[in-house]
């Protein structure tokens, strides 16, 4: 065998690996559900308003509905004196007629009478609220007709696209849809995901540890990340390196027709890599030009309902977290038809120096600090740098600093690409 035959294959780029992942994604089925059941789901068709917003012309202020011509010349020295002929609280259906020199007392949100074309706030009258049921003495004229009148449809007209396809329905979106009279939405199914942690060294959290054992934390980590990406975690298992338990887990996932299985551990080049040993036919195992997360596995598994995506992530917690962000999260969002499957990237100055691995893109768990002047800087989440075993630093991380492969050192003040994570704060 020549020396060339023993040369390890070249590292794949992140983009090549992610391209293979996304090429295997087939968007999930969608269904119409009640709006109150759609939280966290992704729209698979544009959501159109059923009502105008506002629904009707209404007052933006507590005061008097007036005819602009009656108050256009009002000043403190020459007040416009109007007779109050109606009282309009919020929720009223009244539409009183207003003749010359007449006004209606009106509260915020109340329908504006058809004869009125401006609102005079109590603050611009002599008596204010205390003297408002019989006569209004206007001291300051509105600037123009229409002042403080919220016109029907100023925001949205019935039939307008309120939310685009691919939008995730959070509290703000559901509130907007409700205000527009919408009661249901056509949304994607949630990806059904199984999480399988591998390693004979893993012990359930809280149990006494014998020599060589560590608490199993990747399952909690990956299940939480999957749920935050809109998935339904249907199984979370920990298996040893012997193989039988992994085969059982895969069989159960296939029978349950899950949409994805995320393995942690067992994908590297060691002697007891159970995922590689058991799934080498279904998955391709690659070395990626990234730190952490160089060993990766990906493939598909036929199921009764189609195919499940198989992700093999490294077992070290930081590696697993970074790998999920880079490969698994975009796939889960693409399954749901999300418009944006990548987190936004900010450019921030480094608040501290650190070294990076040569030839591999660096994803560093990081903290975003707010300086006294309100500006932001980024620094490593741990003093130990980027070690993939530094699980404690994940608790402090609110972002990933992403450093190109050709950079070997970040200096204080250097611009850094920063990916903000779920629940970040500065």
15-35 pLDDT per residue, tens: 999 999 999 999 999 999 999
The pLDDT tens digits of the residues spanning 292-349 come to 999 999 999 999 999 999 999 999 999 999 999 999 999 999 999 999 999 999 999 9
Can you give the pLDDT at residue 384? Answer: 53
7 or 65, which is more confident: 65
pTM for this prediction: 0.89
Dist. CA 220–CA 226, nearest whole Å: 10
pLDDT, average across residues 350-370: 94
Give the 3-state secondary structure of the chain.
CCHHHHCCCCCECHHHHHHHHHHCCCCCCEEEEEHHHCCCCEECCCEECCCCECCCCEECCCEEEECHHHHCCCCCCCCEEEEEEEEECCCCCCCCCCCCCEEEEECCCCECCCCCCEEEEHHHECCHHHHCCCEEEECCCCCCCCCCEECCCCCECCCCEEECCCCECCHHHHHHHHHCCCCEEEEECCCEEEEEEECCCEECCCCCCCCCCEECCHHHHHHHHHHHCCCEEEEEEEECCCCHHHHHHHHHHHHCCCCEEEEECCCCCCCCCHHHHHHCCCEEEEEECEECCCEEEEEEEEECCEEEEEEEECCCHHHHHHHHHHHHHHHHHHHCCCCCCCCCEEEEEECCCEECCCCCEEEEEEEEEECCCCCEEEEECCCCCCCCCCHHHHCCCCEEEEECCCCCEECCCCEEEEEECCCCCC
Can you give the pLDDT at residue 153? Answer: 97
pLDDT, average across residues 374-379: 94
Strand, coil or helix: 422: coil
Using pLDDT thresholds of 50, 70 and 90, give the confidence band for residue 3.
very low
Can you give the pLDDT at residue 390? Answer: 60
Dist. CA 282–CA 312, nearest whole Å: 11
pLDDT, average across residues 277-286: 95
Can you give the pLDDT at residue 366? Answer: 94
In 3D space, the residue among 307, 333, 417 whose CA is nearest the CA of residue 368 turns out to be: 417
Can you give the pLDDT at residue 262? Answer: 98
Q: pLDDT at residue 1 above 50?
A: no
The pLDDT tens digits of the residues spanning 131-152 come to 899 999 999 999 999 999 999 9
Using pLDDT thresholds of 50, 70 and 90, give the confidence band for residue 228.
very high
pLDDT, average across residues 251-280: 93
Can you give the pLDDT at residue 422? Answer: 78
Give me the chain's average pLDDT, please. Answer: 94
Can you give the pLDDT at residue 309? Answer: 98
Can you give the pLDDT at residue 423? Answer: 64
| % of the chain residues with pLDDT over 90 | 89
Q: Is 177 exposed, middle or buried (0-12, 13-18, 19+ CB in 10 A)?
A: buried
| Pairing of β 102-106 and β 63-66 | antiparallel
pLDDT, average across residues 391-418: 91
The pLDDT tens digits of the residues spanning 196-223 come to 999 999 998 889 999 999 989 999 999 9
Q: pLDDT at residue 101 above 50?
A: yes
Q: Would you say the C-alpha torsion 255, 259, 263, 267 has a positive or negative sign? A: positive
Can you give the pLDDT at residue 2? Answer: 43
Can you give the pLDDT at residue 386? Answer: 54
Q: pLDDT at residue 243 above 80?
A: yes
């Amino acid at each position: 065998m020549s020396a060339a035959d023993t040369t390890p294959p070249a590292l794949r780029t992140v983009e090549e690996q992610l391209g293979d992942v996304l090429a295997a994604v087939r968007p999930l089925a969608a269904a119409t559900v009640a709006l109150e059941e759609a939280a966290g789901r992704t729209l698979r068709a544009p959501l159109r308003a059923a009502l105008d917003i506002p629904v009707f012309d209404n007052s933006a202020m507590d005061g008097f509905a007036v005819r602009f011509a009656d108050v256009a010349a009002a000043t403190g020295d020459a007040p416009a004196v109007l007779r109050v002929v109606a009282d309009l609280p919020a929720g009223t259906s009244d539409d009183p007629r207003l003749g010359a020199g007449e006004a209606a007392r009106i509260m915020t949100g109340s329908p504006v009478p058809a004869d009125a074309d401006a609102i005079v706030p109590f603050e611009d009258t002599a008596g204010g609220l205390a003297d408002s049921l019989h006569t209004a003495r206007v001291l300051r004229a509105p600037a123009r007709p229409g002042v403080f009148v919220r016109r029907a449809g100023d925001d949205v007209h019935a039939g307008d696209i309120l939310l685009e396809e691919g939008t995730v329905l959070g509290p703000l979106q559901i509130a907007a849809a409700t205000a527009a009279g919408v009661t249901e939405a056509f949304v994607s199914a949630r990806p059904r995901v199984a999480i399988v942690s591998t390693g004979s060294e893993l012990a359930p959290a809280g149990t006494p540890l014998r020599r060589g054992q560590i608490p199993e934390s990747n399952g909690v980590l990956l299940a939480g990340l999957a749920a935050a990406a809109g998935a339904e975690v249907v199984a979370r298992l920990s298996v040893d390196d012997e193989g039988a338990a992994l085969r059982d887990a895969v069989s159960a996932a296939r029978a349950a027709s899950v949409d994805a299985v995320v393995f942690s551990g067992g994908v590297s080049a060691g002697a007891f890599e159970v995922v590689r040993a058991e799934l080498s036919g279904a998955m391709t195992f690659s070395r990626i030009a990234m730190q952490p997360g160089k060993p990766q596995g990906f493939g598909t598994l036929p199921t009764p309902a189609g195919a499940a995506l198989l992700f093999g992530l490294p077992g070290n917690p930081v590696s697993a977290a970074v790998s999920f962000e880079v490969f698994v999260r975009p796939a889960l969002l693409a399954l749901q038809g999300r418009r944006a499957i990548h987190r936004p990237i900010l450019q921030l100055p480094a608040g501290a120096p650190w070294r990076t691995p040569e030839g591999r893109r660096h994803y560093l768990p990081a903290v975003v600090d707010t300086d006294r002047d309100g500006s932001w800087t980024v620094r490593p989440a741990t003093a130990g740098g980027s070690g993939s075993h530094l699980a404690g630093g994940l608790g402090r991380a609110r972002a990933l600093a992403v450093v190109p492969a050709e950079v070997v050192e970040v200096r204080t003040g250097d611009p850094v690409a920063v990916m903000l994570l779920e629940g970040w704060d500065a």
